[in-house]
Chain A
Amino acid sequence: MMDVKKIREDFPIFNVKPHGKRLVYLDNAATTQKPESVIKAMEEYYEKLNANVYRSPHYLSVLSTEAYEKARDKVKKFVNAKSEESIIFTRNTTESINFIAYTWGMKHIKEGDEIVLTIAEHHSNILPWQMVAEAKGAKLKYVYLDENFRLSMKDFEEKMSDRVKLVAVQHMSNVLGIINPVEEITQIAHKYGAKVLVDGAQSVPHMKVDLKKINCDFFAFSGHKMLGPMGIGVLYIKEDLLDEVPPFLRGGEMIDEVYEEYSTFAPPPLKFEAGTPNVEGAYVLISAIDYLERIGLENIYEHEAKLLEYGLEKINTLEYVKTYGPMDSKDRGGIISFNVEGVHPHDVATILDEEGIAVRSGHHCCQPLMRYLGVPATVRASFYLYNDFDDIDALVEALKKVRKWFK
């Protein structure tokens, strides 16, 4: 059992009283708050080890280079990747996915090829593939949901063929919370010779992710959604593809030898990290992972499952609220999207905000999914390790007030 009260004490942000109210932070799918140890680590980096990495032979540069490499090793173990060469630091999930679209995608996807996506993808896992498809004359194919709001594996199998070169799929939906069977998806895709990219932005912060088990070819996630800082993200490229993927950006740090007319590149992962990287972000990410590991990802997942169950039960007692997503909490993360009858999500969010409750309203960067669900927008409450039943009770009470404003 997690001691949420104690965990909350580690997060200084809870001293903020929005509109004089207790902060009920339910916007964790957008970004998470940071524990004191993470905030301290930012300061520590600039107070004790700041220097550019890989270049200079001086004391501080050795320290910062070691810290940067330690972060890579930490991430590698955290997601159980096989080798450090596979872990590339980026800005965020969006950059990681664009990275693969611009490099591997533009090189290997050809006219007539197909890219399979799901209808629930975040725009960041749609737009890069639209770009590749348009440039190369390839075709996008979408997999839709079944009647229980889960990815239809039947539809997926029907969309697969030898023409499919890539399957780009989210691990967990940022709207419905569904966790897709990415291991099974990868197995099926590989049978057809297709590569698999998994968007792990919503899964990595909330559950144990094992890349050896999933066996996908590319995997992307962001630091700021897992207690870490903004501006540091991760791209995983499977070992056997490291040579096949060309560099994304070119310049400093990523070279072997440079001549007037041509250059050779450093071995991976440096080949993929041109320019001065976000060393501070990587260093602070170590602290975020430390914190998550101290609490335990299994415990966090279990805790959020309880919150989800409790939240669904409570919210569904309000007959004027409609929730979207599977009715059960199996293979589902702590995300509840809903609408209040007759009230636009923005108005709901503004009224909740007056009560100190932070939620997101809108299309959640998932316009195709919104269209598929037949709604212009939803309100979304998303949980994390510092949320408890009181937060959900506060949400439910506030929703009753929303109703009063719009009778």
Chain B
Amino acid sequence: MSDLNQLYSEIIMEHYENSPHRRELKEATLKERGHNPLCGDDITIYLKINGDVIEDASFTGHGCAISQASTSMMIDLIKGKDKKEALRLVQKFIDMIHKKDVDLEELGDAQVLQGVSDFPARVKCALLAWKTLQDTLK
């Protein structure tokens, strides 16, 4: 049970059920869809970028608790950051999920997703948003 506690912690459920970032962003300058063809998780990330700074960000879509919460937490983290910093944090998150030693504090709420690394079948769900953002900003 302790494993599931980690996977479906209160904070993850909160992001899943009541994310403040779940909306369309009318003034978005970048819009990117990401999906896991094998399981059907499907998200769209909206970014409003001014110069190098991500001024606003949001997402829409559907999928499991992990994919949706992870997306919401990522938006939390990258909003207000410049592109380079956002990409650095994305890499950090990906490293965490791949069980590499990273400084978790920097990842904010998203650090609670570390537990996903013990559920190999769910790693793709956690990474979907981050990989999508990486592809968009690169």
Interface residues of A, Cβ cutoff 8 Å to B: 343-347, 350-351, 353-354, 361-363, 370, 376-377, 405-406
Contact = CB atoms under 8 A, between A and B. Distances in A.
Contacts of A361: 39
Contact of B66 (A347, A370, A376): A347
Given A344-B62, A370-B40, A376-B62, 14 more contacts: A343-B65, A344-B64, A346-B39, A346-B122, A347-B8, A350-B7, A350-B119, A350-B122, A354-B3, A354-B4, A361-B39, A362-B39, A376-B42, A405-B8
Interface of B: 1, 3-4, 7-8, 13, 38-42, 62-66, 119, 121-122, 125
A354 B118 CA distance: 12
A405 B12 CA distance: 12
Nearest to B4: A354
B interface, by DSSP: helix, strand, loop or mixed?
Answer: mixed
A362 B62 CA distance: 13
Contacts of A363: 39-40
Contacts, number: 46
Contacts of A353: 121
Contacts of B122: 346, 350
A346 B66 contact: yes
A347 B3 contact: no
A377 B122 CA distance: 16
A362 B40 contact: yes
Contacts of B119: 350
Nearest to A354: B4
B62 to A, nearest CB: 6
A350 B121 contact: yes
Nearest to A370: B40
A376 B13 contact: no
B71 to A, nearest CB: 13
A406 to B, nearest CB: 7
Contacts of B8: 347, 351, 405-406
Give the top 4 A-B pairs by smallest Cβ distance, nearest first: A344-B64, A346-B64, A377-B40, A376-B40
A377 B4 contact: no
B40 A351 contact: no
Contacts of A350: 4, 7, 119, 121-122
A362 B125 contact: no
Nearest to A344: B64
A405 B122 CA distance: 17
